[in-house]
């Protein structure tokens, strides 16, 4: 049986991320805290107690170095979690990218750095998704 508090693909402990209230509608069940796998960058719902008043990583492993701290990083990780289908997740991705940028995150620089990070094996092709994201945001 799989552990609900581990990445279903990598079986790694996820980084616990406090989700800013403004973007909780883009998480599973409007969760205040989600997990982001530090290896494949999948976003997963977590079981157990959460700390909705915290900002950024709560416990467990650290996110990849390229991820900015605070709300910008949290929104960016959520956006990455939606990149499996840019077309279907367009509204959520747009809102999350906008929030990340307003919070000071450089979305495209972060994607470039994640793509070059050997410790990351993203569940999507970050280079290809970056180009799709640029095209989507230019519309």
Give residue limits of the domains in the chain. 15-138
- Strand 33-36, strand 56-57: pairing: unpaired
Cβ pair 10, 44 in contact under 8 A: no
Closest-CA residue to 46 (of 60, 30, 33) = 33
pTM, whole model, 2 decimals? 0.88
Residue 56 three-state SS: strand
Pair of tokens at residue 91: 């509204």
- Tokens 């280079």 identify what position? 127
Q: What is the CA radius of gyration of the chain?
A: 14
| pLDDT value for 85 | 92
pLDDT in tens, the chain (139 residues): 467 678 889 999 999 888 889 999 999 778 888 899 999 999 987 765 454 444 444 567 889 999 999 999 999 999 999 999 998 999 999 999 999 999 999 999 999 999 999 999 999 999 999 999 998 888 7
């Amino acid at each position: 049986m799989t552990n609900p508090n581990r990445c279903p693909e990598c079986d790694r402990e996820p980084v616990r991320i406090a989700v800013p209230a403004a973007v909780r509608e883009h998480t599973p069940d409007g969760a205040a805290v989600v997990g982001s796998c530090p290896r494949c960058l999948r976003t997963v719902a977590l079981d157990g107690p959460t700390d909705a008043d915290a900002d950024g990583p709560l416990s467990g492993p650290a996110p990849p170095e390229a991820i900015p701290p605070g709300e910008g990083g949290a929104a960016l990780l959520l956006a990455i979690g939606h990149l499996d289908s840019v077309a279907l997740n367009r509204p959520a991705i747009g809102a999350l990218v906008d929030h990340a940028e307003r919070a000071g995150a450089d979305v495209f620089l972060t994607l470039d750095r994640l793509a070059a990070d050997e410790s990351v094996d993203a569940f999507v092709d970050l280079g290809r998704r970056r180009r799709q994201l640029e095209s989507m945001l230019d519309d």
